Amino acid sequence: MKGQAMNTAPAPGLNDTHDPLLQSWVASANTPETDFPLQNLPFGRFRLAGDPDWRIGVAIGDQVLDLRAARVIDSNDMNRLMRLLPEVRRSLRQAISAGLRVGSAQQDTFKAALHAQSDVELGLPCEIGDYTDFYTSVHHATTIGKQLRPENPLLPNYKWVPIGYHGRASSIVPSGTGFHRPNGQTKAPDAERPSFGPCRRLDYELELGVLIARPNALGQPIAMADAEAHVFGLALFNDWSARDIQAWEYQPLGPFLSKNFASTLSPWVVTLDALAPFRAPFGRPEGDPEPLNYLASPANSSHGAINIELEVWLQTARMCQAGHAGDKLSQSNYADAYWSVAQLVAHHTVNGCNLRAGDLFGTGTLSGPNPEQGGSLMELSSGGKRPFTLSNGETRSYLEDGDTVILRAYCVREGYRRIGFGECRGTVLPARTLDQQTL
């Protein structure tokens, strides 16, 4: 739909920090394959061995720069940093970029504040407040709808309203954290009564997380023109789903226990400033209705889309034991989403809802227009009816214990430096029995 529109002019916001010729005195930041060149500078939190306190860092090559130790900030409160005005955040990006460039007078100070990423613990990028999950991929919505409602796959409100539900923030975990297969109620179509036990149709969902920066007051909507000023950046997000539990519980109020047992967030937040070169026009397919006025703006039309290539990889326990890195299951692009970041912010607040720094929006599963671009196993296996074979001969319909799902993402455009998001990794552990769960 929109994912190929990169021959047009990028969004405003380009400056010298995006110069593809910039080189860093951190050698690993200059290698072509790194996700974290000098042009990226994503934010996150880390801590050293034996230190209980989180520090604010920026990824540069295979290192992390301690911003407070580098004397560019005076606090390790990430949510406070996120609340800064956009122009102050841009000045901070400029200062970090200048200090990491070849020939910087601050090299000695910054070098003393560097740590190898492999030597630190990476956590959630901020304190997560509220969490809302959206449903922004029309391709995912249509494919799933065909399985559930073949005669009416896309509900009539989809093209008018950014659909979402409020999720559970307490079970959002950092990348690398394992989680236990959830237990719950399920009901077979031919059964008289439901049964209880471990989920048998465990799935992943390829998503991006939108981290809110500046709050708005209760009762004060955020207009489309101002929406992106309230967004800090994007991270990878996996909203694990128990499809069999979901099928039994979701009517009439929607997802509950099928979603709140675990969601995995990557450690690095790529700022909207870093993504400026990868913006593209945002539009609807011909014949689709134009959004209502409160969901439209000239800026959103001219550069509301963001071209981010997204990948899902699966490494089974057997692959891990054999030293196999895993298979790539699918690839899609965020520019194919039906609703933009600004539209999610404007819609979420149009009724007066107040957002806070650190609130998280999930985009919902980001699938592409082709069948092989499904962002979940429910799509790739046609609801479990068509298992597929992996490169080592194993087959999958849904996830098995020991499976590790890895999400990756990156942005490329001719004339600019490739930037990446790192990875979002989670491993399925066996379900606990009820007596194991009792304290």
Give pLDDT tens digits for 222-257.
999 999 999 999 999 999 999 999 999 998 999 999
Same fold for the pair 16-122 and 131-437: no
Three-state SS across the chain? CCCCCCCCCCCCCCCHHHCCCCCECCHHHHCCCCCCCCCCCCEEEEECCCCCCCEEEEEECCEEEECCCCCCCCCCCHHHHHCCCHHHHHHHHHHHHHHHECCCCCHHHHHCCEEEHHHCEECCCCCCCCEEEECCCHHHHHHHHHHHCCCCCCCCCCCCCCCEEECCCCCEEECCCCEECCEEEECCCCCCCCEEEECCCEECCEEEEEEECCCCCCCCCCCHHHHHHHEEEEEEEECCEEHHHHHHHCCCCCCCCCCCCCEEECCCEEECCCCHHHEECCCCCCCCCCCCHHHCCHHHHHHCEECCEEEEEEECHHHHHCCCCCEEEEEEEHHHCCCCHHHHHHHHHCCCCCCCCCCEEECCCCCCCCHHHCCCHHHHCCCCCCCEECCCCCEECCCCCCCEEEEEEEECCCCCCCEEEEEEEEEEECCCCHHHHCC
Locate the domains of the chain by residue range.
16-122, 131-437
| CATH annotation of 131-437 | 3.90.850.10
| CATH annotation of 16-122 | 2.30.30.230
Active-site choice (140, 303, 347, 348): 140
**In which residue ranges of the chain is pLDDT below 50?**
1, 3-5, 7, 439
Whole-model pTM?
0.96
Report pLDDT for 1: 46
Report pLDDT for 437: 56
Report pLDDT for 11: 65
Report pLDDT for 150: 86
Report pLDDT for 434: 76
Burial 353-379 (b: 16+ CB within 10 A, else e): bebbbbbbbbbbbbbbeeeebbbbbbb
Q: Check if the beta carbon of residue 196 is closer than 8 Å to that of residue 148.
A: no
Report pLDDT for 362: 98
Report pLDDT for 12: 82
18 is catalytic: no
